[in-house]
Amino acid sequence: MHSEGHVGFSLSVLSLFMVTFGWIDIGSITMCFFIAVFSLLPDIDLRLRPLVTHRGVTHTLLAGIIFGIILAFITSYAGYGWSIGLIAGFGGTVLHLVGDIFNYTKIKPLWPFSHRKVALGLFKSSNWVANKGFAVLGGLALLVTFLKYVGYL
């Protein structure tokens, strides 16, 4: 998926969780934004080529743990507490990986513990309909969550 697809997918999933479990408060909505933004972290490998391959080491749960720890230090230093960074970094990475599993290109999410590659092959990562569809769905899902928060739903 492209950036807009990943952010939209993340917002969709997170909004569903917030509504389902009743986590509709300003803190949860703020965390939703952090996780959605940091769901783009695994694609840092596009900027690091040829040092790393796309959908390689940055597309693993291990990378999610590392991203979470790095962001925990940053958010802690900034005075927001370490848990925000840890949850945003790891959660964003997990949602990115789940989004990428829908694509044709396989990833190894459990590397280095397993070399098994997974992909559902539902669409290409460049599929315009999928990317725009997830972006719109994520925006609408977040809007519904926010309207529920302010009492309009």
Q: Convert the pLDDT of each residue in 109-125 to its tens digit.
A: 999 999 999 999 999 99
Number of neighbours of residue 107 by Cβ within 10 angstroms: 21
Name the DSSP class of 93: H
1-42 pLDDT, tens digit each: 999 999 999 999 999 999 999 989 988 998 999 999 999 999
Q: How far apart (Å, rounded) are the C-alpha atoms in residues 25 and 92?
A: 19
Answer for the pair 61, 109: CB distance below 8 angstroms, yes or no.
yes
Q: Where are the domains of the chain?
A: 3-150
Q: How far apart (Å, rounded) are the C-alpha atoms in residues 32 and 44?
A: 20
At residue 153, the pLDDT reads 81
Q: Which two tokens stand for residue 119?
A: 């992909």
Answer for the pair 1, 104: CB distance below 8 angstroms, yes or no.
no
